[in-house]
Structure 1
Amino acid sequence: MGYLSCSAESAISTCDPCLWELNKKRNKTTKPNAIREFPYSALESATNGFSPRSFLGKGSHGSVYKAILDDGKLIVAVKKTSKVSTTNLEENEIEILSKIHNPGLVNLIGYAKDSKFRKLIVVEYMPNGSLHDLLHSNPKPPGWTKRVRFALQVAKAVHALHSSNPQIIHRDIKSSNVLVDGNWNARLGDFGLALRGCVEDVRIKCTPPAGTLGYLDPGYLAPEDLSTKSDVFSFGILLLEILSGRHAIDVHYSPPSVVDWALPAIKSGDFTELCDYRIGLPEDPEVIRRLAVLAGKCVSSTAENRPEMGEVVESLGGVSRRIKKRRVRKQANKSIYGHEVFDASNEMGKAKTSCSHLGQSKISLTRNRKVFSSFDGFVDGHASVSDADRVGRSRSVGSFSEIKLDSNQVEVSKKGSGSLTKMPGLTRLSKSRSMGVLQTTRLVHYNDKGLVFQLARD
């Protein structure tokens, strides 16, 4: 009796040769590294017996320790399951991560078994901690450029999970599960709750809803409600957290939920209210508008109205490109004006007015460095100064060809005049760092010999 046999490749090629080529490309990009099984004793030794000195933090189902293996050549993080854990989260994480490898994930390196056959997970070491700590515990929180980059990197990682075959749904996207590597790239980790397979799979249909309060999709009430849109909702909460610097749930606010607090502002178009006050508004107001609108779409109460992660990646990519263009333009302006000579010409020469008392900070004028230009305004022929004793900027003030400073006098020559004015009693001049303006205890006036700084008598 004859029978027909064929290889997997020939079978798929017969059905759809394009799909086979696509799968080959996908396998090349997501092919996992060889998963190692470490002796438990090796991990115990590498963590100094899981001592507090090696402790990195608490995970969702245990503690995490830093370990140095292979004679110092390999630095890893070891996730040790809690003694009271009765779940199989570590088994699930090993199963998920052994099937996929991506630069946007905290990838699996190996595992070990203790004397009770509990598995310890060995993953890549992330030296810069979690995004949660950077946003909420760091005295210098990241600026807009880093925040947008982190959001884009996490979105790409989630998109890679949803695009894998079969797809992976993370189910626990949150800032504490986003870790930052040595190159300051955001990586998505902790796959204990992740599910791999199509929504129709029996396992997904039998797995009860799970996640973290504040990030959990409100429409995910039963196993059959799960879809990739549940991850999109969680990512939307994360995006609001990145945007505002607020926790997903914070009882110090009313309402405590970041989504309940943010949605009214998004709907009314009051996007500036959402900005993290510690870093202020981005230079480009369009950045905050796009981020807020995107977050609002992701946290829609109706799953069908939420975008796919591919659309999220595209939107964040546009915001990132916008920020980069502005940075390039800003650097170009610096290269043009950074060596611009301080100019004090016609207006000051024509005005010949005296400036009122300017405060008690020191001033410094350095050659070829733009410091200030014109006064804020003139009142009764005199330059008026604000309570902050500031002098505004303008390019039409003229220039000095030479400025000499020492502890006893300052010499100023007006450009083109060839004459010098010497003034005793002046010490040092400095530029205000906070506002980029001039502040001084001296009276300033302009005469035929040039711009004169005279010591104010107390």
Structure 2
Amino acid sequence: MRFLCNTDSSISTCNNTSSSSSTANPIKLTRFSYSAIDSATNGFSPRVLLGKGSHGAVYRAVLNKGSLTAAVKKPTSSVSETSENEISILSTITSRRIVNLIGYAVDPDKNLLPIVHYMPNGSLYDYLHVNNKPLALLTRVRFALQIAKAVRTLHNKSNPPVIHRDIKSSNVLIDERENARLSDFGLAIKGHVADVRVMSTPPAGTLGYLDPCYLAPGDLSTKSDVFSFGILLLEIISGRKAIDVEYSPPSIVDWALPLIKSGGYAGMLDRRIRGRVDQTVVRELGLLAARCVRSTAEKRPPVTVIVDCLKKVYRRIKVEGFPVLGSLRRRVRRLEPSDEFDGSDWDESRMKVGPTRIRKKGSNVDNLTDEEITTRGRHPTDETRYVTGINFVYNVVQFCHM
């Protein structure tokens, strides 16, 4: 059986010299008066309470005369430093795949209140464990890919890198377009592993998602987030919680790994998923998750490899679901722009005309050499206009059936 991806490649390292437009300049934040926030939340009424955790509570707030709906995080006085940390990190990074910071307020006790974009569709935890309607496999993989993109932004596009330290389904929120966004940066750390601040920060996270290799401050690396993502991926595939005492064994890792090692991939798929499922897809997802939760941190794949693997799995599911369109897409693939839209994020659907790959007969489009790449220039040819139109129709039809 052919593998869709190879996650055994290079070990992740922090790129000290990388930069990105999303992190190049500090984000302009709005300081809201506490009285405005108090009014916008009706005095932090339980009626607008969105959620509560160990670090505080989150409330829905209607600001700017009703033109802006936001979420206000009100920390408990004992952990107010998590709010300060979240504002510090989110004030230097923004992405379509994270819940971005709008501004902040200061309460009478001098505690900072982060104010972020409101996510109207709840959390991924709700989608997996609370809602009665089960998610389709395509939607699950799309969410997993979008979360992986969020982690890639933190690890590779922030300088220095950001390690989230608390990746879990309840910290993945679903926006108004039903795209997944990573939230809650209260425990996140920004800095290189050798940084004094990182070395002095004690381990933290959530039981069930916490990297077992992360026992001391010096053990922290981006691979700790990769482990947590692997747990989340198993949760997305199976519909089981990371820790569930109603099952034996209660740990999702202890339950899933024996199935993966024995080749029983079908047994780990959520039984509520309807319709025919490509077993190669289930196999690839299971193997990817198993590699992410390896006991040796250095052997876990970097997030860039995870993103590439999930893109291939996502595309395979789309082709299986639409065989006629899949055949049409393969026929015109040799003329596609290189910056192909993978369909996982409708906010990122920007078709760029530029270098175009020409696929030789019998060659693998993912392994083209420099000699096989032809530069078309800035202006699209009739062929690329035609292919872009075909791709547009292809993606719109899929969107209507998602």
TM surpasses 0.5 = yes
Match of 1:205 among 194, 199, 204: 199
- Measure how far apart 1:59 and its partner are: 3.8
Once the two structures are TM-superposed, the CA of residue 96 in structure 1 deviates from its matched residue by 0.5
Report the Cα distance in structure 2 between the residues aligned to 1:330 and 1:226, rounded to whole angstroms. 47
Alpha-carbon distance change, 286 to 332 in structure 1, aligned in 2, over 3 angstroms: closer
Asked if residue 318 in structure 1 is aligned to residue 302 in structure 2, the reply is no
Query: Relative to structure 2, which stretch is displaced further, 68-77 or 174-183?
Result: 68-77
- Out of 91, 94, 104, the residue aligned to residue 97 of structure 2 is 104
Offset of 1:87 from its aligned partner? Answer: 4.7
Contact 2:281/2:313, CA 8 A, preserved across alignment:
yes
Superposed, which structure 2 residues align to 1:160-309 within 5 Å?
160-163=153-156, 164-280=158-274, 282-309=276-303
Render the CA deviation track for 1:204-224: whole Å, top value 9, x for unaligned.
Answer: 100010000000000100000
> C-alpha offsets along residues 160-197 of structure 1, whole Å, 9 cap, x if unaligned?
10011110000000000000000000000000000001
**Cα distance between partner residues in 2 of 1:139 and 1:307:** 34
Letter in 2 for 1:112: A
Between the aligned partners of 2:203 and 2:39, the Cα distance in structure 1 is: 38
- Retained in 2: the 8 A contact 1:97–1:107? yes
Q: Does structure 2 conserve the Cα–Cα contact (< 8 Å) formed by 1:232 and 1:309?
A: yes
Structure 1 residue 111: Cα displacement = 0.7
Q: Runs of at least 4 residues of structure 1 off by over 4 A?
A: 28-32, 330-333
Aligned position for 1:39: 33
Q: Could you tell me how far apart the structure 2 residues matched to 1:281 and 1:308 are?
A: 32
Which residue number corresponds to residue 121 of structure 1?
114
Q: Distance in 2 between matches of 1:160 and 1:328?
A: 31
- d(CA) in 1 for partners of 2:230, 2:26: 29
Structure having the larger proportion of residues in helix = 2
Matched residue SS, 1:27: coil
1:32 to 1:323, Cα distance in 2 relative to 1, 3 A: farther
What CA distance in whole angstroms lies between the structure 1 residues aligned with 2:220 and 2:41?
38
User: Deviation per CA, 1:302-348, whole angstroms, max 9, x where unpaired?
Assistant: 10110000000000000011111122326789xxxxxxxxxxxxxxx
Q: How far did residue 264 of structure 1 move? A: 0.3
Which residue matches 2:366?
none
Contact 2:22 2:95 in 1 (8 A): no
How far apart, CA to CA, are the structure 2 residues paired with 1:74 and 1:175? Answer: 26
Is 1:61 aligned to 2:55, yes or no? yes
Equivalent pair of 2:260/2:290 in contact (CA under 8 Å): yes
Residues 33 and 106, structure 2, Cα contact 8 Å, conserved in 1: yes
Residue 145 (structure 1) aligns with? 138
- Structure 2 gap segments, 5+ residues each: 1-15, 328-402
Q: Say if 1:41 and 1:87 are closer, same or farther in 2 by CA, change over 3 A.
A: closer
- Following the alignment from structure 1 to structure 2, what is the Cα–Cα distance between the partners of residues 32 and 106? 16
CA distance in 2, matches of 1:87, 1:183: 32
SS in structure 2 of the partner of residue 132 of structure 1:
helix
Cα distance in 2, alignment partners of residues 284 and 41 from structure 1:
55
In 2, the alpha carbon distance for the partners of 1:176 and 1:160 equals: 20
Other structure's SS at 2:248 match: coil
* Structure 1 CA distance for aligned equivalents of residues 163 and 287 of structure 2: 24
Q: Check if 1:75 corresponds to 2:69.
A: yes
Question: In structure 2, what is the Cα distance between the partners aligned to 1:226 and 1:255?
Answer: 27
Letter in 2 for 1:126: M
1:71 partner SS: helix
SS in 1 for 2:194: coil
| 1:354-397 per-position Cα deviation (integer Å, ceiling 9, x unaligned) | xxxxxxxxxxxxxxxxxxxxxxxxxxxxxxxxxxxxxxxxxxxx
> 1:123 Cα deviation (Å)?
0.3
**TM-score, structure 1 as length reference:** 0.66
CA distance in 1, matches of 2:287, 2:22: 36
Q: Which residue of 1 aligns with 2:343?
A: none
- Residue 27 of structure 1 and its aligned partner are, at CA, apart by 2.8
In 2 relative to 1, CA 32–142 (structure 1 residues): closer, same or farther, beyond 3 Å? farther
Q: Which runs of 5+ in 1 are unaligned?
A: 1-18, 334-458
- The structural deviation recorded for 1:58 is 1.4
Instruction: Find the aligned partners of 1:131 and 1:28 in 2 and give their Cα distance.
Output: 25
Larger C-alpha radius of gyration, 1 or 2?
A: 1
Distance 1:178 1:30, change over 3 A: farther
Question: Structure 1 residues 332, 296: CA separation in 2 closer, same or farther (over 3 Å shift)?
Answer: closer
Q: Quick one: which amino acid aligns to residue 233 of structure 2? A: L
User: Relative to total residues, which structure has the larger strand share, 1 or 2?
Assistant: 1
Residue 155, structure 1, aligned to residue 148, structure 2: yes
* SS state at 1:95 partner: helix
Distance in 1 between the 2:46 and 2:300 partners?
43
